[in-house]
Amino acid sequence: MKKTRFPLTRRDFLTSSLSIAAASALSNALPFPANTPAGAVSFPKNFYWGTATAAYQIEGAWNEDGKGESIWDRFSHTPHKIKNGDTGDVACDHYHRYREDVNLVRALQTNSYRFSIAWTRIQPAGSGRPNPKGLDFYSRLIDSLLEANIRPFPTLYHWDLPQALEDAGGWPNRDTAQRFADYSDIVMSALGDRVQSWMIFNEPWVFTTLGYLLGTHAPGRTDVDAYLRSTHVVNLAQGMAFRVMKGVRPRSVVGTAFSLSPVQPATPSNADKEAAERTHRWQNVWFLEPALKGKYPDAFVGVTPEMLGVQPGDMEKVRAPLDFIGVNNYFRYIASAIRPKAISLNPIAKIFPVDVKLGGDTGPKTDMGWEVYPRGLYEIVMRISKDYGRPIEITENGCAYTDAAGKDGTDHDTRRIAYYNGYLRELARAIKEGADVRGYHAWSLMDNFEWAEGFSKRFGLINVDFKTQKRTMRESGLWYAKLAQSGTLPAAVKKAK
Ligand code: IFM
């Protein structure tokens, strides 16, 4: 068996070394379902069709117009952290080309565009007076979207903490929650007159776990104690920002985009079923349950409120009755109870005695190595809808594939079309069965900086040539535009290979 290293890469942690499930047992336990709707499928009227991006992944201009250094600037400038030494210094140069990009959003016939705001453009060091040039950039972007009848749908924080705040302790430091609440006040006061719907965080589980526990993302720390505290401070920040935003704009619609994946037991044993539920409580709802229910789910063994840094009154502060739940879904998890022998291999097995494998072995894999599992979107939407009864926005779903351009210059990315076709059919099924889903955002509008993977993974409906910055619509983009315009998937089903 492959040896487990620490720190682990994201893929190591989630795909192989900590997993003990045998592939054959899995395929017996998890037959691929055949009940995906195959005929023409119509989505609700007034449905939002969108695409999603994030500031660090597309903007570039990393040190222009007064922008401060973020943890991702620092991390990507550190040798060996990012594949091929890539950085987001220029990325898609969106900071200078946003008008062209809004035209592409329009060409896709979409009526919603999810983007994020770089905290360091607004407050270069994470506190103090706002930088007018930073606010002005987002103000211009928002105006361009509104002129094109596209809903601006911003996220306040998509992983780019000001480096100055990391130097002061980062997310494990309680003070960061207050800094974040101040930042949310500035942004809402400046832009809330034109933006109604907001996300506070993007994937809080991912940026805390990869940033403070696994060390594969910025700021690259591997400290279990700091990690546990960071999760509580993020929950505090979520509750505090929610109240600040509602205070400034009571009619605003505020949610968070969570990384949410259905978790299946590797075998029908009670131990594996319990392992799957434990995984759901940590990886899916650790940042949702405090907001909506004012409590932490029972995910860890032996982790006390003191270890999380919980102080009297905090469990009221973490509450945030989110107006919607953002679902980012890419894959499923397979969980099995950890074997006693594996405890010494897994640095957190004492507090989390589960082996988690990312994806099963039934579907094809994308370039990320992620299994294509369309039914997972149905499963997680139904579970979240049943457990929390809130409106849902699909805030991310998509796939990385590289295809050479055909003779006509277009990427005929049939695998990407098949992916979207499959997931959207499963989403339609969830809606039909009662889930209140308001919108869907494809990740991503265009190829961009895929974090530790640099530019090696292409998620875009639009191809970007990073040497020339030329954007070219893929066949999937044309396909998505038709869907966004008609709101209907035609009857012919292309099956993912
Ligand atoms: O690129 C990321 C995005 O920033 C957050 N969600 C997952 C995407 C693909 O890995």
Question: What are the domain boundaries of the chain?
Answer: 10-489
Its CATH class, for the domain covering 10-489, is: alpha beta
pLDDT per position as a tens digit, 361-402: 999 999 999 999 999 999 999 999 999 999 999 999 999 999
* Structural contact between residues 259 and 328, judged by C-beta atoms closer than 8 angstroms: yes
Helix %, strand %, coil % of the chain (to 5): 40, 15, 45
Q: Catalytic annotation on 203?
A: yes
* Structural contact between residues 349 and 338, judged by C-beta atoms closer than 8 angstroms: yes
Distance 395 CA to ligand 1 centre (A): 11
Confidence of residue 21 (pLDDT cuts 50, 70, 90): very low
How many CA atoms does the CB half-sphere of 393 hold within 13 Å?
A: 31
Spot the catalytic one: 59, 69, 166, 203: 203
Cβ–ligand 1 distance for 396 under 6 Å, the answer yes
Confidence of residue 340 (pLDDT cuts 50, 70, 90): confident
d(CA 373, CA 339): 27
Distance 221 CA to ligand 1 centre (A): 20
Strands 333-337 and 354-358: antiparallel
Confidence of residue 26 (pLDDT cuts 50, 70, 90): very low
Give the pLDDT confidence score for residue 444 in this predicted structure: 98
- Percent share of the chain, pLDDT over 90: 87
Report the range of poorest mean pLDDT among 6-15, 344-353, 469-478: 6-15
Q: In 3D, which of 128, 180, 187, 160 has the Cα closest to residue 62?
A: 160
Atom in ligand 1 nearest the alpha carbon of residue 57: 4
- Its pTM stands at 0.93
How many CA atoms does the CB half-sphere of 330 hold within 13 Å?
A: 18
What phi and psi values does residue 333 have, to the nearest 5 degrees? -110, 150
Cβ–ligand 1 distance for 447 under 6 Å, the answer no
Strands 462-465 and 470-473: antiparallel
What phi and psi values does residue 496 have, to the nearest 5 degrees? -60, 135
Question: DSSP state, 323?
Answer: S
Q: Given CA atoms 79, 14, 114, 363 in this order, what sign does their dihedral have? A: positive
pLDDT per position as a tens digit, 165-212: 999 999 999 999 999 999 999 999 999 999 999 999 999 999 999 999
- Ligand 1, from 451, 457, 459: best to mutate by most atoms within 8 Å of Cβ? 451
Distance 33 CA to ligand 1 centre (A): 27
Q: Catalytic annotation on 396?
A: yes
Q: How many residues are given for the chain? A: 497
Distance 338 CA to ligand 1 centre (A): 28
For residue 414, pLDDT beyond 90: yes
